[in-house]
């Protein structure tokens, strides 16, 4: 009657499902298109962010999106709500709860800018 219950018994597959999602992304070939990775819904981009990416010629490879996804997970664990994320020469403002990139800036656009309404910053290497 007092047998220990493991996490897997309480939430069957929940841990494995999240691990598989990340493993699937890591296994994807480099030929995967940016759009294919977006369809996995790991990281979402607002309409405004998509426009800024297009205007500023910013492109992410699938491995960059995986790093952003991992950074969102870390920020969420620390209780962040809106985070400035720096990856390569790009700054992203990310709503952590919705896993949505709200805006993006290239290095030239970042100069002399003040970032407001953020509660955390993550440097992604």
Interval 39-66: pLDDT, tens: 445 899 999 999 999 999 999 999 999 9
Q: What percent of the chain has pLDDT over 90?
A: 62
CB atoms within 10 A of CB 55: 11
92's CB contacts (< 8 A; 6+ apart) are: 49, 68, 84, 85, 86, 101, 103, 104, 105
Whether 2 maps to a domain, the answer reads no
pTM of the entire predicted model: 0.66
- Confidence check: pLDDT of 83 > 60: yes
Is 1 among the domain residues? no
In terms of residue numbers, what domain contains 103?
8-124
Question: In total, how many domains does the chain have?
Answer: 1
Is 18 a domain residue? yes
Relative to beta strand 120-124, strand 100-105 is unpaired
Q: Are 124 and 67 in contact (CB under 8 A)?
A: yes
Helix (H, G, I), strand (E, B) or coil at 92: strand
13 assigned to some structural domain = yes
């Amino acid at each position: 009657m007092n047998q220990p219950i493991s996490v897997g018994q309480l939430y069957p597959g929940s841990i494995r499902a999240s691990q598989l999602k990340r493993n699937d992304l890591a296994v994807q070939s480099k030929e995967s298109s940016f759009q294919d990775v977006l369809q996995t819904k790991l990281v979402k981009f607002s309409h405004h962010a998509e426009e800024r990416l297009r205007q500023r010629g910013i492109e992410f490879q699938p491995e960059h999106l995986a790093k952003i996804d991992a950074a969102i997970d870390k920020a969420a664990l620390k209780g962040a709500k809106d985070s400035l994320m720096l990856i390569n020469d790009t700054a992203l403002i990310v709503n952590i709860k919705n896993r949505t990139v709200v805006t993006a800036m290239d290095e030239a656009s970042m100069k002399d800018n003040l970032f407001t309404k953020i509660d955390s910053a993550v440097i992604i290497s």
